[in-house]
Amino acid sequence: MGVTLLVPDAAANITPDASDAGLRHVLHALPGVDQVGAEARAAMLASRSIKNEAKRTAIDLAISMVDLTTLEGADTPGKVQAMCAKALHPDPADDLVPPVAAVCVYGDMAGIARAVVGDRLHVAAVATAFPSGRAALEVKLADTAAAIERGADEIDMVIDRGAFLTGDYGTVFEQIAKVKQACGDAHLKVILETGELRTLDNVRRASWLAMAAGADFIKTSTGKISPAATMPVTLVMLEAVRDWHQRTGRRIGVKPAGGIRTAKDAIRYLVMVQEVAGPEWLTPDLFRFGASSLLNDLLLQRQRMATGNYSGPDYVSHD
């Protein structure tokens, strides 16, 4: 399988085969990431102070970027239906609150979700033997096809971290490319599971690998591994999509998932999106939050700004 990649530090394009050696050549030519420097940059961005009108705008934007998620073994149709209802009308008392971007469920629940949200929201399904990614390729493809058949228009796949860590980049590439093929018109989000990749160098390489193989979004985590999304990891992924756009003209989305629970955190991420990738990424088409409890905190903060008083947990719905 041939693929065109751009070596980041040279003007020349190269066309390696998707063999381990060809991909290694490209991925290991990417600049390294200094962990301490990246963390310092993320911390500086986190110190931005977003007040008043900016905060109101940011909260609504953040709500519209939420992939409201339930990914439990104990999920039932009732639970999924309740979540979908909330996704459509996050605050029943306030019609001005925008809907979230999508609901995110296991593939077998995609049909239940689609029945509730209709075409008003995206339905994202996790696939490819989520969360471990440990299954035969045929199983992963079947998993993907089944979710799409049930109405998912976004697929959140996991990469084979074992293959990545062992340097078997060809396998990772091939699986992403085949899943992308199986997706058809559905958007593909590629979960890197950065908590298992451990280093920011790996995050950068995995981001480029996923983009090269056809990802529409790169996503940090399954939410099942700690640490999940962090500011420094998301920073490196935002740098990757920025640089990819500069070289290919194509904008890839970013989705931090897991661990983002407060409005304050969400706003910090938005600041980072704006200052690192650019304001063009401040849209649900290019940035999402994979979260469940975040939405309620966004709503509480929204109520607090609307009424001037602090709200309480009894004034938002719990599913």
Partner 1 sequence: MSLEYAPAPESTDVVDIKAHYGLFIDGEFVEPIDGTTFTTINPATEGVLAEVSEAGPQDVARAVRAATTAHTRTWARMPGRERSKYLFRIARLIQERARELAVLETLDSGKPIRESRDVDIPLVAAHFFYYAGWADKLEHAGLGTSIRPYGVAAQIIPWNFPLMMLAWKIAPALATGNTVVLKPAETTPLTALAFADICQQADLPAGVVNILTGDGTTGRNLVEHPDVDKVAFTGSTEVGRAIQRAVAGTQKGLTLELGGKAANIVFDDAPIDEAIEGIVNGIFFNQGQVCCAGSRLLVQESVADQVTEALTQRLRTLRLGDPLDKNTDIGAVNSAAQHARITEYITAGENEGARRWTAPCAIPERGWWIAPTVFTEVSTAHRIAREEIFGPVLAVLTFRTPDEAVAKANNSPYGLSAGIWSEKGSRTLWMAQRLRAGVVWANTFNRFDPASPFGGFKESGFGREGGRHGLSAYIRSEVV
Partner 2 sequence: MDTRVDVRKTYKLFINGAFPRSESGRTYPVSDAKGRFWANASLASRKDARDAVLAARGAQPGWAGATAYNRGQVLYRVAEMLEGRRAQFEDEVARSEGISSRKASGIVDAAIDRWVWYAGWSDKFAQVSGSSNPVAGPYFNFSVPVPTGVVAAIAPQDSALLGLVSVVAPIIVTGNTSVVVASQERPLPAVTLAEVLATSDLPGGVVNILTGDPAEVGPWLAGHADVNALDLTGVTDDGVSTQMQVAAADTITRVLADVTADWTIDPGLGRLRAFTEITTVWHPQGV
Q: Is 224 a catalytic residue?
A: no
Closest CA to 193 of 163, 221, 217, 172: 221
Among the residue ranges 45-53, 122-130, 160-168, 170-178, the one whose residues contact partner 1 (CB under 8 A): 45-53
The kind and range of the H/E element at 154 are strand 154-158
User: Which amino acid is it at 3?
Assistant: V
Distance, in Å, from the CA atom of 231 to the CA atom of 45, rounded to the nearest integer, reads 9
**Phi (first) and psi of residue 17, to 5 degrees:** -75, 165
For position 28 contacting partner 2 by CB under 8 A, the verdict is no
Region of 152 (left: φ > 0; alpha: ψ -120 to 50; beta: rest) is beta
For position 251 contacting partner 1 by CB under 8 A, the verdict is no
CB of 279 to partner 1, least distance (A): 4
For position 34 contacting partner 2 by CB under 8 A, the verdict is yes
Strand order in the sheet with 187-191: 253-255, 217-219, 187-191, 154-158, 122-127, 102-106, 66-69, 289-291
The site string for partner 2 over 179-198 (x = CB under 8 A, - otherwise) reads -------------------x
Among positions 23, 38, 102, 316, the unique one binding partner 1 when judged by CB under 8 A: 38
Q: Is 156 a catalytic residue?
A: yes
Region of 259 (left: φ > 0; alpha: ψ -120 to 50; beta: rest) is left
For position 26 contacting partner 1 by CB under 8 A, the verdict is no
Q: Is 219 a catalytic residue?
A: yes
Distance, in Å, from the CA atom of 123 to the CA atom of 114, rounded to the nearest integer, reads 6
The site string for partner 1 over 190-209 (x = CB under 8 A, - otherwise) reads --------------------
Where are the extended beta strands (E) located within 8-114? 13-14, 66-69, 102-106
Question: Which entry of partner 2, partner 1, none binds 78, CB below 5 to 8 A by partner kind?
Answer: none
Among positions 12, 53, 226, 309, the unique one binding partner 1 when judged by CB under 8 A: 53
The kind and range of the H/E element at 212 are helix 200-213
The site string for partner 1 over 54-93 (x = CB under 8 A, - otherwise) reads xx-xx--x--------------------------------
Closest CA to 212 of 11, 14, 36: 14
Tell me which of 86, 91, 219, 243 is the catalytic residue: 219
Q: Give contact residues for partner 2 (rule: CB under 8 A).
A: 34-37, 39, 198-200
Residues annotated as part of the active site: 156, 219, 255
Site for partner 1, rule CB under 8 A: 9, 31-34, 36-38, 40-41, 47-55, 57-58, 61, 236, 239, 270-271, 274-275, 279, 282-283
